[in-house]
Structure 1
Amino acid sequence: MTIANDANADADTVVPIGNHIDRWVQSKPDEHAVSYGTTDYTWAQFRTRIRANAAAQVADGIRTGDRIAFLDKNNLACLETTLAASLTGAANAVINFRLSPDEVAYIVNDARARIVIVGSEFADLIAGLRDELPTVERVIVTGGVDDDYEKWIAGASDADFEPVRFDPDASFLQLYTSGTTGHPKGAMLTHRSLGAHNAAAAVGFGFTPSSVNMVAMPLFHVGGSSWSLAGISVGAQTIVVRDVDPSAVLDEIVERKVTHAFFVPAVFGFFLEEPRVADRDYSAVRCLGYGGSPMPLPTMRACLETWPDADFYQVYGMTEMSGVFSVLGPEDHRDLAHPERLVSAGRPLPGVTVTVVDRDGNALAPGSIGEFWVQSKQHMLGYWGNPEATSKTLVGDDWLRTGDAGLLDDDGYLYISDRVKDMIISGGENIYPAEVERVIIENPAVADVAVIGVPDEKWGETVKAVVVLADDASTTDVELIAYCRERLAGYKTPKSVEFLSALPRNSTGKILKRELRKPYWEGRTLHS
């Protein structure tokens, strides 16, 4: 089955991303544009800082196709560097600040970065790696007592600076995939792809020039950088949050009269643990988005009760698609006639076509599980320096293979089963762990769960549940297996249960199932 959203999202006209800034400088130069910490900038001031950054890049010899690497927690300087790169023809390769030194070095070298801009908290890390970064010509520290960044942009004049000739397919933002398997790959996002995403997101989430958009997701993640650019494109105010302290973030939402915000489900869980979570005035909030990993139904129900007047949006997106491409909207979150849609990833955004295919790329009927393929101008240019991986992901007539398995129902709603690679094949039956996880997480004794396939001499693989118990709760493997047997087909029911204190996750909250599988599959071959 294939579903297309052909609604006009103004994605056919590609303009330089910097044109949006110019537009708001012309119409409201003295109005509030961005905030970072206690500092606010108007649109005119923001544009001046972006152009100063661009002029500084050029003064340091940065040219079209070059890469700058940025390593820090959320920092307005990162957003300025991305927007400046769109003017110089370079690209900002934003690095996950939670990575190990070896992983940071890998990304800097993979990007062949000529400049590294690093937050003061991580300056020692880069200093320790300096001899291992052969392409780096300059390191610029931002923040702290040794701040170089403000001097760097203050010392550059944009009087003679002119943006490079516009190329709609030029990449100015390079975000690295989370790397749950193998080395991360640099997805090249362009004026065309991010412009299409901006247009679709503006429609999908109701961004307007009066919106106040909180950016709390890390800027190394597509949910941070793309979310911020979507708001900026329509003239919304942007609030950049450096650290996600639940109580402080909730207070800032109220004090800043935030209308739009996006968080991963785990952060909503932290919010719900705050003693005063329900005592604040959230009347300004219009859009609360979540995604990056599934939200357990108990958490979702609690959120709907805690924020009864807010519109909730579940998003399905990926780095390679410049952000979100399918949304479950607010009406579906509170549709008593279709409660099953709470576990849906919604319907495609404007300008997006989604199909479900078998292993040979043939479209499947509604209700059949296969791999999601997506067609949209939002797709990346490719993986930086990796044509082989690009050719495996971008196929046919501009289709992008998501690697996610799931189905489309008769009404065009997407239901994600799992990553294709996480599918368990037991006795010839395909089992998608998410189906089993959705059942187990409903058990009140369970706080977190991951389901994996482990080797079995008779069936090839069997289902194993790895469980974290809720505080002060107790249950046994026998009780959990019996609980599942009442609610699942026999072949989907776990044959074994392991209890852990916590599940291994990457920096964006995704469970590292390869780490859970590793002890069982060492020396064996897992199906592809």
Structure 2
Amino acid sequence: DARAGQLVSSGVAQDGRVAIALPNGVGHHEWVFATWKAGATPCIIPHRLPANELSEIIALATPAAIIGTEARQSGDAVFIAGDSPLPVRQATPPRQPASSWKIVASGGSTGRPKLIVDRGPAELTAGLEGIIDLLGIPRDGTVLNAGPLYHNGPFLFSNLALIAGSRVVGMNRFDPEEWLKLVERERVEWCFLVPTMMHRIWSLPAEVRLAYDISSLKRIVHMAAACPVWLKSAWIDWLGPDRVFEGYAGTETPGTTISGAEWLKKPGSVGRVAPDTITVRGPDGLECQPGEIGEIFFPPTSADRFHYIGSAPTLDASGRVSLGDMGYIDPDGYLYLADRRTDMIIRGGANIYPAEIEAAFDEHPAVAGAAAIGLPCEEFGHRVHVILQVRAGNEVPIKNVIAFAADRLAAYKRPETYEIIDGPLRDDAGKIRRSALRDERIEWLRTGKPFQQAIER
């Protein structure tokens, strides 16, 4: 109540927006709930972003207030330090629930950030109750949040757990052994993970992983990236099929779910498609036959529920939404993911858009062109690899170019390997054929061919 009053007295109006750029912690939840109490919409954004990227996101959000750890100014927005002293509690004028309950920041396919506005009201609806029940979030238990609260999954599930009456134990930063310690010490019952976290936990020495008592854990739910079949199988062998649950969806779409027991009958599937939801379509827009790979589309209602700022969703002629995923549906109605249609790089469950990385390098005066691609990585699924074309006569040390881009890119977007080439990256039409570049280098990895002037960060 006190924080809500602070927001109202700072000029946050009904249905106003509050940008929350805070690290994981009690304060993040405190300000989110205060925003809802004030009849406003929280816009969750990463707190550690380069200044120019953060400024772009805040400019798109046009918030009435910015809650953060460092003073930020944008338009008429009021900055409030996240750890500011709690004001004297006073009666807050009653407000109606905000017409949109959350805004999530995301990268854009053009290299520019975008915001996804959920038009669902800021109140406990039957839909949110259904998510709580479907995923088995306990209503009076203990939930562990292992991910950053500026990502949709951790934000959604940890706050739903609080709404359901559970206690949420948060991690400031994910560490695999610390995760095991917390599950044991806090008797955690439920947790959301991404496959990269699962991989890091599984990669601990067996004697370390098995030294902790995690018998309290009733369910882990994983999504946000494709989980390798071998890793999923290993977790099911470890925890048992009843405790491993998978979901597939986007921030703005319905999706599929599959239990561990069901997955054992359909290894590699992300779940059975409900009627009138997901379809797989070919380039002609027609539905693919069972087993035929095509682009995955979600129903038009997905577009109706969400509003985009800074970008637009990919829609077909009938208004269906695509996330750029390719896949197929088997004769029994189970969905399998095949690959990405777009050039998006998914690293540890985080979406990274090549255009943004390339734009950062293109600013350097010695760089004539840059192409960012995702190459296979055992731990994160993909690693960012950048191919650089250096201007003739510019013998700039690569470490200078790397440092230049580091000032413009968040840490998880920075390339792990670099390659310098002599020839042009773009074709006669001015296009970068990232798929061809990626396929060529994957073949080089397979055959052991060395890259031209390859450099590791």
Distance of 2:303 and 2:259 partners within structure 1: 22
Distance of 2:377 and 2:200 partners within structure 1: 17
Say if 1:358 and 1:467 are closer, same or farther in 2 by CA, change over 3 A: closer
Residue in structure 2 matched with residue 414 of structure 1 by the alignment: 335
Say if 1:507 and 1:467 are closer, same or farther in 2 by CA, change over 3 A: same
Pairing 1:59–2:41 present: no
| Structure 1 residue 329, shift from structure 2 partner | 1.1
Letter of the structure 1 residue corresponding to residue 328 of structure 2? L
The within-5 A match list for 1:109-258 is 109-119=59-69, 123=70, 127=71, 130=72, 133-142=73-82, 147-148=83-84, 151=85, 153-157=86-90, 159-164=91-96, 166=97, 170-179=99-108, 181-191=110-120, 195=125, 198-258=128-188
| Structure 1 residue 396, shift from structure 2 partner | 4.0
Secondary structure at the residue paired with 1:154?
Answer: coil
| Structure 1 residue 81, shift from structure 2 partner | 2.7
Could you list the runs of 5+ residues in structure 2 that have no partner in the other structure? 347-353, 355-372, 380-405, 436-457
Pairing 1:372–2:322 present: no
Letter of the structure 2 residue corresponding to residue 372 of structure 1? I
TM-score by length of 2: 0.70
Say if 1:136 and 1:219 are closer, same or farther in 2 by CA, change over 3 A: farther
| Structure 1 residue 467, shift from structure 2 partner | 5.0
Letter of the structure 2 residue corresponding to residue 389 of structure 1? A
Q: Deviations over 1:229-281 (max 9, x none)?
A: 33234333322322212222211111111111011111122212334111211
Contact 1:75 1:242 (8 Å CA) reproduced: yes
Say if 1:526 and 1:366 are closer, same or farther in 2 by CA, change over 3 A: farther
Distance of 1:465 and 1:401 partners within structure 2: 20
Q: Deviations over 1:490-510 (max 9, x none)?
A: xxxxxxxxxxxxxx9x97979
Contact 1:371 1:401 (8 Å CA) reproduced: yes
| Structure 1 residue 55, shift from structure 2 partner | 1.9
Identity among equivalent pairs (%): 22
Distance of 1:172 and 1:361 partners within structure 2: 33
1 or 2 for the larger relative contact order (CA 8 Å, sep ≥6)?
Answer: 1
Q: Deviations over 1:454-475 (max 9, x none)?
A: xxxxxxxxxx9945589xxxxx
Contact 1:71 1:118 (8 Å CA) reproduced: yes
Pairing 1:525–2:446 present: no
> Which has the larger displacement, 302-311 or 401-410?
302-311
Contact 1:188 1:380 (8 Å CA) reproduced: no
Distance of 1:304 and 1:280 partners within structure 2: 17
Contact 1:196 1:377 (8 Å CA) reproduced: no
Distance of 1:298 and 1:266 partners within structure 2: 13
Residue in structure 1 matched with residue 322 of structure 2 by the alignment: 401
Secondary structure at the residue paired with 2:101?
Answer: strand
Say if 1:422 and 1:74 are closer, same or farther in 2 by CA, change over 3 A: same
Say if 1:273 and 1:420 are closer, same or farther in 2 by CA, change over 3 A: closer
Secondary structure at the residue paired with 2:279?
Answer: strand
Secondary structure at the residue paired with 2:56?
Answer: helix
2:57 to 88, 107, 127: 107
Letter of the structure 2 residue corresponding to residue 191 of structure 1? G
Residue in structure 2 matched with residue 282 of structure 1 by the alignment: 214
Residue in structure 1 matched with residue 351 of structure 2 by the alignment: none
Distance of 1:379 and 1:236 partners within structure 2: 32
Distance of 2:316 and 2:162 partners within structure 1: 29
Distance of 2:312 and 2:193 partners within structure 1: 29
Distance of 2:332 and 2:424 partners within structure 1: 40
| Structure 1 residue 195, shift from structure 2 partner | 4.1
| Structure 1 residue 283, shift from structure 2 partner | 1.3
Distance of 1:510 and 1:291 partners within structure 2: 20
| Structure 1 residue 313, shift from structure 2 partner | 1.5
Secondary structure at the residue paired with 1:295?
Answer: coil
1:389 to 291, 312, 315: 312
Distance of 2:291 and 2:424 partners within structure 1: 33
Alignment RMSD (CA, Å) = 3.8
Pairing 1:297–2:229 present: yes
Say if 1:520 and 1:348 are closer, same or farther in 2 by CA, change over 3 A: farther
Residue in structure 2 matched with residue 86 of structure 1 by the alignment: 36
Secondary structure at the residue paired with 1:267?
Answer: helix
| Structure 1 residue 306, shift from structure 2 partner | 3.1
| Structure 1 residue 210, shift from structure 2 partner | 3.1
Secondary structure at the residue paired with 2:255?
Answer: strand
Could you list the runs of 5+ residues in structure 1 that have no partner in the other structure? 1-50, 424-432, 435-451, 453-463, 471-503
Residue in structure 1 matched with residue 283 of structure 2 by the alignment: 359
Letter of the structure 1 residue corresponding to residue 286 of structure 2? N
Distance of 1:250 and 1:192 partners within structure 2: 36
Residue in structure 2 matched with residue 346 of structure 1 by the alignment: 271
Distance of 2:293 and 2:61 partners within structure 1: 37
Secondary structure at the residue paired with 2:249?
Answer: strand
| Structure 1 residue 83, shift from structure 2 partner | 2.9
Higher helix share: 1
